[in-house]
């Protein structure tokens, strides 16, 4: 028979738990993406190792999405639950002190226990950066897709607008371990635009959610349009172009 006070203690322990939301930035070049992978450096794995050590028990860190290996983030959002009473400012400093320099926690705040950074997100914005100069500085190389070859940029700009709205993005999604769940691959894109900024082509996309490699496959398709390999620029292509390199992609923001 269980002791009568066990339920009361469990409720007390539950009431002491804190749900913490953090915003973080990272250079994804040295990591195998967000999601924990045994024996490989990942963003989620780095955070969980540090927080579990501080808490004295395993701590799961949920992210707003699983960025791929090599993808960067200007503002990723994550959340975890701990009992540690450490003040938020001290928590941020302590975690940053233990993290590798390529990952920084920008802010931390307490949120309701039911908050989930993925399921509660209303929109995400990604940016893809292409450098069009003949020569790419070694200091810029890790953060752009260097493409100095001829492209019809006006054709690319016209095709970018076609991705606006609600579409089935199956042709632009890589296979995923969640495919077995049979979930829809229909997504809503609120804005999709390509523009020239100095020597760079910047593709920005804001949507309700994104599939694995979706943005990089869209960029690859835009490049094919620039090369003249996409005939109809008024409809979504039936197949995607080659997946663009991860290093040019940035998660810019997550909205709630």
- Where residue 25 sits, what CATH number does that domain have? 3.30.70.580
Q: Are residues 128 and 107 in the same domain?
A: no
- Among 111, 132, 156, identify where a domain stops: 111
Range of the domain at 62: 6-111
Burial bucket for residue 90 (CB in 10 Å: 0-12, 13-18, 19+): exposed
Q: Give per-residue pLDDT as tens, 207-224.
A: 999 999 999 999 999 999
Whole-angstrom distance, CA of residue 36 vs CA of residue 38: 7
Among 8-17, 175-184, 211-220, name the one with the lowest average pLDDT: 8-17
pLDDT at 11: 45
Q: Are residues 71 and 169 in the same domain?
A: no
SS3 142: helix
pLDDT at 160: 98
Catalytic-labelled residue, pool 27, 68, 179, 232? 68
Q: Is 116 among the domain residues?
A: no
* Residue % of the chain over a pLDDT of 70: 93
Identify any residues that bridge with 186 across adjacent strands, giving them in sequence order. 168
Q: Name the strand (E) or helix (H) holding 228.
A: none
Reference 159, options 204, 209, 211, 223; nearest CA is 223
Would you place residue 2 in the very low, low, confident or very high pLDDT band (cuts 50, 70, 90)? Answer: very low
Reference 216, options 249, 250, 254, 171; nearest CA is 249
Average pLDDT over the chain, rounded to an integer: 93
Catalytic, 68? Answer yes
Give me the number of domains the chain comprises: 2
- Among 84, 111, 138, identify where a domain stops: 111
Q: Are residues 42 and 136 in the same domain?
A: no
Whole-angstrom distance, CA of residue 46 vs CA of residue 36: 9
Would you place residue 12 in the very low, low, confident or very high pLDDT band (cuts 50, 70, 90)? Answer: very low
Q: Give per-residue pLDDT as tens, 21-67.
A: 999 999 999 999 999 999 999 999 999 999 999 999 999 999 999 99
Whole-angstrom distance, CA of residue 153 vs CA of residue 195: 9
Query: Within the chain, where are the H helices?
Result: 6-15, 43-55, 88-98, 153-160, 214-226
Note the Cα 44 to chain centre separation in Å.
12
Dihedral of alpha carbons 37, 38, 44, 46, sign: negative
Q: Are residues 132 and 44 in the same domain?
A: no
pTM for the predicted model, two decimal places: 0.90
């Amino acid at each position: 028979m269980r002791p009568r006070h066990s339920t009361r203690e469990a409720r007390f322990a539950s009431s002491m738990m804190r749900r913490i939301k953090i915003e973080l930035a990272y250079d994804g070049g040295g990591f195998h993406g967000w999601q924990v992978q045994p024996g490989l450096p990942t963003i989620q794995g780095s955070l969980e190792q540090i927080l579990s050590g501080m808490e004295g028990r395993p701590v799961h860190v949920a992210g707003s999405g699983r960025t791929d290996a090599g993808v960067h983030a200007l503002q990723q959002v994550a959340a975890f639950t701990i009992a540690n009473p450490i003040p938020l400012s001290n928590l941020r400093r302590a975690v940053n002190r233990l993290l590798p320099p390529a990952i920084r926690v920008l802010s931390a705040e307490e949120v309701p226990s039911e908050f989930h950074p993925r399921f509660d997100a209303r929109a995400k914005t990604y940016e893809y950066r292409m450098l069009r100069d003949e020569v790419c500085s070694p200091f810029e190389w890790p953060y752009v897709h260097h493409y100095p070859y001829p492209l019809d940029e006006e054709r690319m700009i016209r095709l970018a607008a076609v991705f606006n709205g609600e579409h089935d993005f199956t042709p632009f999604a890589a296979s995923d371990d969640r495919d077995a769940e049979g979930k829809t691959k229909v997504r809503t894109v609120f804005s999709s635009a390509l523009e020239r900024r100095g020597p760079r082509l910047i593709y920005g996309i804001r949507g309700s959610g994104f599939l694995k490699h979706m943005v990089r496959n869209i960029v690859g398709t835009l490049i094919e349009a620039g090369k003249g390999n996409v005939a109809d620029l008024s409809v979504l292509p039936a197949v995607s172009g080659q997946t663009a390199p991860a290093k040019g992609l940035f998660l810019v923001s997550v909205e709630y």
